[in-house]
Amino acid sequence: MRMKLSRKGLLAHIIKPEFDALSDRSTVQWKTNDLKALGVIAGDVSLTYQVYIRGATTAADSWRMLEEQ
């Protein structure tokens, strides 16, 4: 799944680098791309695991929730 997010340019939404000007969470573009990343994650996991990320509001939240399982 990391490769898919990376190919789509959305990897920064689950792994925040030390400094990345594109990771400014206040921009509309960041929020749009975060929703795209969340959609990729939700679409790639089986129904069994979708239950765990149902309450996630960001891609990073969903990624963290899945890592905890």
Q: pLDDT at position 20, please?
A: 58
Please state the rounded mean pLDDT for residues 17-46.
Answer: 80
55-68 pLDDT tens trace: 999 999 999 999 99
d(CA 65, CA 53): 6
At residue 19, does pLDDT exceed 70? no
Both structure tokens of 50: 């979708």
Question: Residue 58 and residue 39: Cα distance in Å, rounded?
Answer: 10
Q: Global pTM?
A: 0.75
What spatial distance separates the first Cα and last Cα of the chain, rounded to whole Å?
16
Identify which of 59, 51, 48 has the alpha carbon closest to the alpha carbon of residue 23.
59
In this prediction, residues 24-30 reach a mean pLDDT of: 78
Per-chain mean pLDDT for the chain: 84
3-state DSSP assignment of residue 15:
coil
In this prediction, residue 18 carries a pLDDT of 53
